[in-house]
A and B are shown apart, each in its own frame.
Chain A
Amino acid sequence: EAQVTQNPRYLITVTGKKLTVTCSQNMNHEYMSWYRQDPGLGLRQIYYSMNVEVTDKGDVPEGYKVSRKEKRNFPLILESPSPNQTSLYFCASSLQGSTGELFFGEGSRLTVL
């Protein structure tokens, strides 16, 4: 089954404790992206990757890091989480950039205390 898998789905952590949200897709997509979704603000892009070893900042990259060492994986790293990073995070992938059909994961709800 074609899918984007994110883990963990739910996480409560404390300020400053490094965490990684994993994302994996099995569709051989070149494009992958991370979004955060907050009430009233919609989806905002954090980082995206056009291919292996190629990443670029989206609209709200501050406080986040990404890497793309393999085509299928695109982890999101919060080096020192802060409460303003409490949000619902989505990973997405596409065959042809952001204007192709984006396939989203189920979301990761992160709470930073």
Chain B
Amino acid sequence: QKEVEQDPGPLSVPEGAIVSLNCTYSNSAFQYFMWYRQYSRKGPELLMYTYSSGNKEDGRFTAQVDKSSKYISLFIRDSQPSDSATYLCAMSPSNYQLIWGAGTKLIIKP
């Protein structure tokens, strides 16, 4: 079993919908949680960063961490076609080791 599980999708939703992307993990030592966005033929770029539990909001994006359930989520409100990309979750117990999910491909239909 992988340390980090992420549904690869694709997830296809209409423009304007609320999108929910999720990852589950098994290592209770994870403290740092990140979401990266990767457009086709590009390198990933950091979207959201959370330390320990709780919520973090940035514009249309909200990241949630539930350490008791070992579950993290990324919500996108008012989704746009430009949000179409692969979303990668990543998490770490320390400053040196980062464990990645396989990525969820998101398609926003105009």
Residues of A at under 8 Å CB distance from B?
A: 4, 40-45, 48, 50, 56, 90, 92, 96-99, 101-102, 104-107
Contacts and interface: CB of A to CB of B under 8 A. Distances in A.
B60 interface: no
A43 B100 contact: yes
A100 B36 CA distance: 12
B46 A101 contact: yes
Interface in B83-97: 88, 90, 92, 94-97
A75 to B, nearest CB: 17
A32 B44 CA distance: 15
B8 A40 contact: yes
Contact of B101 (A42, A97, A107): A42
A107 B43 contact: yes
